[in-house]
Amino acid sequence: MSWWGRSWTDRTHPYRGVQMSKDLELMAKKLRTVETLEELSGFANRRFYVPWLPDWTEEERKLIIARKYEIEKGVRYAKKKTR
């Protein structure tokens, strides 16, 4: 059984090993900065505030849902140290 084309053992990093366009890479990078479900909800439901924005694509929805599961599981990304 697979999850987005990968084995179930690789579930902690849903974007790893997936060929993504530059736009999806940028979105995945932005999603890694989201730390709370409230912040993710505001990001995901942006059309409530700005109705003329386009709908999310299916791939973008998958990234948002994957990040939601990560936040619920407590996965955090290390912040880069600045000098």
Diameter over CA atoms, the chain? 45
What pLDDT is stored for residue 16 in this prediction? 54
What pLDDT is stored for residue 6 in this prediction? 44
What pLDDT is stored for residue 25 in this prediction? 87
CB 34 within 8 A of CB 40: yes
**Domain spans in the chain, listed from the N-terminal domain onward:** 2-73
Per-residue pLDDT tens over the stretch 14-70: 555 555 678 888 998 999 999 999 999 999 998 898 889 899 999 999 999 999 999
